[in-house]
Amino acid sequence: MTELVAYLISGIALGSSFALIGSGFVVVHRVTRVVNFAQGSVAIVGGMTSATLLDGLLPHGLGEIAAVLLCGVVGLVIGLLAIGRRGTPPLISLIVTLGASMLVSAAIIWLWGQDPVAPPGLGGSVTILGAEVERQRLLVVVATGVAFAALALFFSRSYLGKGLTASASNPFAARMVGIDVRKMGLLAFGLAGILGGLAGVLIAPSNPLSFYSDLPLVLSGFAAAVFGGLTSPLRTLFGGLCLGVAGQLTAGYLNGSYQTEMALLLMLVIMIIRSRAFVQEEVK
Amino acid sequence: MLRIDDLVVRYGSAVAVDGISFEVGAGEMVALVGPNGAGKSTLINAISGLVPLHSGTVACEGRIAQVPEGRQMFADMSVEDNLLLGGWSIRNRDVGEVYDLLPDLARMRKRKAGRLSGGQQQMVAVGRALMARPDLLAIDELSLGLAPLVVAELAEHLRILSRERGTAVLLVEQEVALAFDVCPRALVLEAGRIIAAGPSVELAQSETVRKAYFGDLAVAETMTGATAPATTEVST
Ligand SMILES: Nc1ncnc2c1ncn2[C@@H]1O[C@H](COP(=O)(O)OP(=O)(O)OP(=O)(O)O)[C@@H](O)[C@H]1O
Ligand SMILES: [Mg+2]
Pairing of the two strands B55-60 and B64-67:
unpaired
Q: pTM for this structure?
A: 0.86
Q: Is the C-beta atom of B32 inside 6 A of ligand 1?
A: no
Q: Is the C-beta atom of B38 inside 6 A of ligand 1?
A: yes
Higher pLDDT, A179 or B231: A179
Which residue of chain B has the CA closest to A170? B74
d(CA A21, CA A11): 15
Q: Which of B7, B20, B32, B42 for mutating ligand 1's site (highest number of atoms within 8 Å of CB)?
A: B42
Q: What is the pLDDT of residue B233?
A: 45
Nearest to A177 among B75, B76, B89 (CB): B89
Contacting residues for A98 by C-beta, under 8 A, at least 6 apart: A37, A38
* B8-27: average pLDDT: 95
* B206-234: average pLDDT: 51
Whether residue A157 lies within 8 A of chain B, CB to CB, comes out as no
Q: What is the pLDDT of residue B232?
A: 43
Assign A73 a pLDDT band (cuts: 50, 70, 90): very high
Which residue of chain B has the CA closest to A168? B74
Element at B219 (helix H, strand E): helix B217-226
CB A220 within 8 A of CB A263: yes
**CB contacts < 8 Å between A and B, how many?**
52
Q: Which stretches of chain A are DSSP H helices?
A: 2-32, 39-54, 62-83, 90-112, 135-157, 159-169, 171-176, 181-203, 214-227, 233-253, 259-283
CATH code reported for the domain at A2-283: 1.10.3470
User: How many angstroms separate the Cα of A28 from the Cα of each of A75, A230, A238, B100, B135?
Assistant: 10, 9, 19, 38, 35
Whether residue B133 lies within 8 A of chain A, CB to CB, comes out as no
Nearest to B72 among A159, A162, A170 (CB): A170
Backbone φ and ψ of B59, nearest 5°:
-120, 130
CB A42 within 8 A of CB A197: yes
Which residue of chain A has the CA closest to B45? A176
B140 strand-pairing partners: B172
Average pLDDT, chain B: 87
| pLDDT tens, position by position, A77-112 | 999 999 998 888 999 999 999 999 999 999 999 999
Give the full edge-to-edge strand order of the sheet including B136-140: B64-67, B136-140, B168-172, B29-33, B185-190, B193-199
Whether residue A176 lies within 8 A of chain B, CB to CB, comes out as yes
Query: Residue A151 in 3-state DSSP?
Result: helix
Assign B225 a pLDDT band (cuts: 50, 70, 90): very low
d(CA A28, CA A38): 11
Which residues from chain B sit within 8 angstroms of residue A176, using beta carbons?
48, 50, 66, 68, 72
The CA angle A180-A195-A157, to the nearest 5 degrees, is: 55
Contacting residues for A89 by C-beta, under 8 A, at least 6 apart: none
For every residue of B48-61, DSSP letters joined together read TTSS--SEEEEEES
Q: What is the CA radius of gyration of chain B?
A: 18
The answer to whether domain B1-62+142-236 has CATH 3.40.30.10 is: no
Task: Identify which ligand lies nearest to the alpha carbon of B189.
Answer: 1
Residue nearest atom 24 of ligand 1, based on CA coordinates? B36
Give the full edge-to-edge strand order of the sheet including B14-24: B14-24, B2-11, B55-60
User: Where are chain B's structural domains?
Assistant: 1-62+142-236, 66-134
CB B50 within 8 A of CB B205: no
User: How many angstroms separate the Cα of A105 from the Cα of each of A40, A99, A118?
Assistant: 10, 10, 17
Calculate what percentage of chain B has a pLDDT beyond 90: 69
The minimum CA-CA distance between A180 and chain B, rounded to whole Å, is: 10
Q: What is the pLDDT of residue A256?
A: 66
User: Where are chain A's structural domains?
Assistant: 2-283
| pLDDT tens, position by position, A2-48 | 888 888 998 999 999 999 999 999 999 999 999 999 999 999 999 99
Q: What is the pLDDT of residue A158?
A: 95
Which residues from chain B sit within 8 angstroms of residue A166, using beta carbons?
74, 77, 81, 85
Contacting residues for A6 by C-beta, under 8 A, at least 6 apart: A131, A132, A133, A252
Q: What is the CA radius of gyration of chain A?
A: 18
DSSP classification of residue B70: T
What is the value of ipTM here, to two decimals?
Answer: 0.86
Q: How far is the CA of B46 from the centre of ligand 1 (A)?
A: 12
CB pair distance less than 8 Å for B68 and A174: no
DSSP classification of residue A122: S
Query: Which site among B74, B84, B95, B131 would you substitute to test the A interface, given the most A Cβ atoms closer than 10 Å to its Cβ?
Result: B74
The minimum CA-CA distance between A163 and chain B, rounded to whole Å, is: 7
